[in-house]
């Protein structure tokens, strides 16, 4: 499963050609199988698996939820690996783009393996106005796609999944955040 690096959704896992029975796991009573790789920066950290006794295919919202959960777990596992390597967190004041107006004081996570925005070389372009227009269009297209997914999942009574895409849509539709993103390039 881990070698494929993509979700595997099987109604009857035991009939799959790659199924390997491991007696110590005692999974012979389970039929339905949904496995999702936990990947961070193209590195496989693990696999998140759910199984069920009855013979059935997991639906799209269940698979989507597990993929979302695996993505969140990847960030946490990656951060915990960094903590093990570098010890305790340093207290640092950082400036970031707000997703909503207001003030908040909270613990935050920073991926120390990625460079700060100030350290990234700014790419040049012959036509900055065209690039800003393209970025604005890409942000609008992404927001529209998130809205479509939200409506599709809401129509199927999959409210939790719809809420995730609705949140993404709202973030990309925030005019102040979009203006800052476009200005930064």
For residue range 140-156, list pLDDT tens digits in order: 888 899 888 889 888 88
| Domain layout of the chain by residue ranges | 8-86, 125-184
CATH dotted code for 8-86: 3.30.450.40
What is the band of 122 on the pLDDT scale with cuts at 50, 70, 90? low
Is 172 in contact with 139 (CB distance < 8 Å)?
yes
What is the band of 132 on the pLDDT scale with cuts at 50, 70, 90? confident
Contacts of 105 (CB under 8 A, 6+ apart): none
Let me know if 172 is exposed, middle or buried by CB neighbors in 10 A (0-12, 13-18, 19+).
buried
- What order do you get walking across the sheet with 8-10 strand by strand? 8-10, 32-40, 43-52
Half-sphere exposure of 133 (CA within 13 A, CB side): 5
Is 47 in contact with 36 (CB distance < 8 Å)?
yes
What is the band of 91 on the pLDDT scale with cuts at 50, 70, 90? low
Higher pLDDT, 43 or 103: 43
Res 27: pLDDT:
73
Element (H, E) at 132: helix 128-155
Res 116: pLDDT:
67
Does the structure show a pLDDT above 80 at 173? Answer: yes
Crossing angle between the packed helical segments 128-155 and 159-173, to the nearest 10 degrees: 160
For residue range 107-117, list pLDDT tens digits in order: 666 677 776 66
Higher pLDDT, 129 or 87: 129
């Amino acid at each position: 499963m881990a070698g494929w690096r993509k979700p595997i959704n099987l109604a009857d896992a035991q009939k799959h050609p790659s199924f390997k029975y491991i007696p110590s796991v005692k999974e012979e009573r389970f039929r339905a199988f949904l496995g999702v790789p936990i990947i961070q920066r193209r590195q496989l950290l693990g696999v998140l698996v759910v199984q069920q006794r009855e013979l059935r295919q997991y639906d799209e919202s269940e698979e989507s939820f597990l993929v979302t959960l695996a993505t969140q777990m990847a960030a946490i596992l990656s951060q915990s690996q960094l903590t093990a390597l570098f010890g305790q967190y340093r207290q640092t004041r950082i400036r970031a783009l707000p997703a909503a107006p207001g003030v908040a004081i909270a613990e935050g996570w920073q991926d120390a393996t990625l460079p700060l925005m100030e350290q990234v070389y700014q790419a040049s372009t012959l036509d900055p106005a065209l690039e800003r227009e393209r970025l604005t269009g890409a942000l609008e297209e992404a927001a529209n796609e998130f809205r479509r997914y939200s409506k599709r999942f809401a129509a199927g009574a999959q409210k939790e999944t719809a809420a995730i895409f609705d949140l993404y849509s709202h973030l990309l539709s925030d005019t102040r955040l979009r203006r800052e993103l476009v200005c930064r390039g």
